[in-house]
Amino acid sequence: MMKARVLVTLKSGVLDPQGKAIHHALEGLGFPGINDVRAGKLIELDLADGVEDSAIEEMCRKLLANTVIENFKIERLG
């Protein structure tokens, strides 16, 4: 058993209204020093041993991320 996480983020040119709303709300709550906020998705995978990184990358390309507007990052956890 093995855990991996996939972080899906909007590409840099893509507008992020959710991130803007969070940014605005944090400022409204009085938090100083926030330059920018970007919202993304986190997908945690609990995998059988032997699932390769290349398989996880294929999952991202086929389903988890929209690679036209999103980047993804795969991180293995122990």
Contact with its own copies (CB under 8 A) among 11, 14, 53, 58: 58
Rounded to a whole number of angstroms, the minimum distance from the CB of residue 69 to its own copies is 15
Distance CA 45, CA 2 (A): 8
- Contact in structure between 27 and 34 (CB atoms under 8 Å): yes
Shortest Å, Cβ 76 to its own copies: 14
Burial of 72 (0-12, 13-18, 19+ CB in 10 A): buried
The footprint of its own copies on this chain (CB under 8 A) covers a number of residues equal to 37
The residues of the shown chain that bind its own copies, judged by CB under 8 A, are: 1, 5, 7-9, 19, 22, 25-26, 29, 31-51, 55, 58-59, 62-64
